[in-house]
Structures are given as structure tokens and as C-alpha cells.
Structure 1
Amino acid sequence: MWDADALAALARQFLSYVGVSLAALAVHYALLAALVETGRADPVPAALAGYLAGAVVSYGLNRRLTYASARPHAEATWRFGVVAAIGFGLTWLIMAGLTRGFGLPYLPAQLLATGVVVFWNFLGHRLWTFAGRPVPVLSEETSGVR
């Protein structure tokens, strides 16, 4: 099912995704820490604000560098939004559960949430958001090819 070339290509793509994610995470964590440490927001809404800011960075860089997608922005952006919204919900559930439910400090909680959401986002964007568009297949009768 998977050959060495396909696995190597997947590994390269995942490494590119991780690099882009680090840039997005820098924005996410900077906003999270700034909001919490200045007393402007509770850790859960601060994490969600950081997630949204990181998503803006992630979309642009992943579209261009990781997935090299030709899918039109009008289609890719709403797909990205759906995958990101699910990641947003996962972030909220994990952050609320760990900080409010278990009393974990916000940064370790965010690290755990990030670990889960990184894999969700990579797979969602690879398989759906930026995946190549299916090419319609013509039947023998329609195409005239036999």
C-alpha cells in the first residue's frame, strides 16, 4: 500500500507542516501569554484568541508551502474554516477540561491541546482542505474511447 517514495513524500510534507505550525504556534502562544499575563483574559478565551490568530498564519503558509494547493481560495478558505473550527472546538474542550476541570496550569494544558490538534489539522487539511480536486471520469460511451 505505501512504498518508500510515498512515505518519504508524506514525511517531507509533515515536516513542512510542522515548520509552518511552529510559526503559527509562535503567534498563538504569544497572544495567549500576553492576554493571560496582563490579566486581560482567562486562559480558555485567550487560548481560543491565539488559535484564531495562528490560523490566519497557518492558512497562508500551508496553502503555499506545505500542500502547494491550486484549489481556489473561495473553496479552500471555507474548507480550512471547517477543519479549523473543529480544531477550535477540540482546543476549547481540552483547555477547559484541563484548566478548569483538573486545575492544570494553562501552558501545560495548551501543550497537550496543541499535540492533539496538530494531528487533526494536518490530516484534515491534507485529505480535504487542500487535497486535489477529483477529476471526473468519462465512461467509454461518453468519451468514445474503447
Structure 2
Amino acid sequence: MSIINDYPEHSVLLRRSVYRQFILFALVGAVATTVHYLFMGGLIILSAVHPVSATVAGFIAGALTGYLLNRRFTFRSRCAHRQALQRYLLVAGSGLSINTLIVALGIAAGLHYALAQVGATVLVLFWNFWANRYWTFGNG
């Protein structure tokens, strides 16, 4: 038996809390993704940087934006800033690896870089939420 099974209202409250956090995370993610895409597009269009290199730079800019907003608004973390930032960067690094791999594979398969990037963004969204909720900010 678990406490959640003994008190079904706790299960409902926990689900609402997770859904609320996911919605906030997705909204913050939309802001961070906008930063990512604008940075990436600017590098490609203005500087003729290769799309894979541009997505790496854009991802880093978006990840830093996301850290600041998620720490403050989504997870309201009390974890030490130093510890949370280190963990966030590890999660972001793994997300960057997933993102870069998917974009590179998509381009190699003949997809337009923007379509490959959208697919990567969706997968990385779910990975980042769970990793940050349960490990980075310790609110799981």
C-alpha cells in the first residue's frame, strides 16, 4: 500500500501539480525555443553557418533562457543555485545531444532542417521536463 492509494485526493492533487508544472514548463519552453530558433535562423541566414552548428548555438542560448525562467517560475526551486545549474547543464547537454542527433539524422535522411528541428524539439521537451522535475530541481 502507498500513501497515494490510501488517499485518492492526493493522487488527483499530484496529477494536477504535474500537469500545471508541465504547462508552465511548456510555456517557458516556448520562450526558450523562440530564442533557440531565432538564434539558429539568424546564424543560418545572416552568417551562412551550417544548420547543425547553428542549432547547437541556438540550443545553448535557449537552454540558458529556460534555466532562469524554469528555476524561478516552473519549479520554484530552493536547490542551491550552483547544484541546480550544474544539473541543469547536464540535462541540457544530454538534450543537446538528442537534439543534434535528430537534426543531423533528419538532414541526412533528406528532411528540411526546420522539420527535423521541430521533431527534435518535441522529443527533447518531454526528456527535459522529467529530468528537470525529478533530478535538477528536486521537486518530484
Q: CA deviation at 1:36?
A: 1.3
Taking the TM superposition and a 5 Å limit, the aligned residue runs for 1:42-53 are 42-53=50-61
Residue of structure 1 aligned with 2:93, choices 85, 92, 95: 85
How far off is 1:132 after superposition? Answer: 4.6
Q: 2:25 matched to which residue of 1?
A: 17
Q: Which residue of 2 aligns with 1:111?
A: 118
Task: Give the aligned partner of residue 121 of structure 1.
Answer: 128
TM-score (norm 1): 0.86
Structure 2 residue runs without a partner (length 5+): 5-9
Whether contact under 8 Å (1:83, 1:125) holds in the other structure is yes
- CA–CA distance in structure 2, aligned partners of residues 132 and 114 of structure 1: 23
- Counterpart of 2:67 in structure 1: which amino acid? Y
Q: How far off its partner does 1:39 sit?
A: 4.3
Provide the aligned length of Structure 1 versus Structure 2: 132
8 Å contact kept, 1:36–1:43: yes
* Secondary structure at the counterpart of residue 71 of structure 1: coil
Instruction: Measure the CA separation in 1 of the matches of 2:137 and 2:115.
Output: 31
- On the 8 A contact 2:133/2:139 being kept in 1, the answer is no
Residues 59 and 80, structure 1, Cα contact 8 Å, conserved in 2: yes
Contact 1:71–1:132 (Cα < 8 Å) also in 2 = no
Quick one: distance in 2 between partners of 1:69 and 1:37?
38
- TM-superposed deviation, 1:74: 1.0
Over 2 Å off, 4+ runs = none
After superposition, the CA RMSD in angstroms is 1.4
Matches for 1:1-146 after TM superposition, within 5 Å: 1=4, 3-99=11-107, 101-132=108-139
Residue 4 of structure 1: CA displacement?
1.3
Identical columns (%):
37
Q: Structure 2 length normalisation: TM-score?
A: 0.90
Give the Cα–Cα distance (whole angstroms) in 2 for the partners of residues 80 and 3 of structure 1: 27
**Counterparts of 1:4 and 1:65, CA distance in 2:** 22
Q: Which amino acid aligns with 1:85?
A: G
Question: Which amino acid is the alignment partner of residue 55 of structure 2?
Answer: A
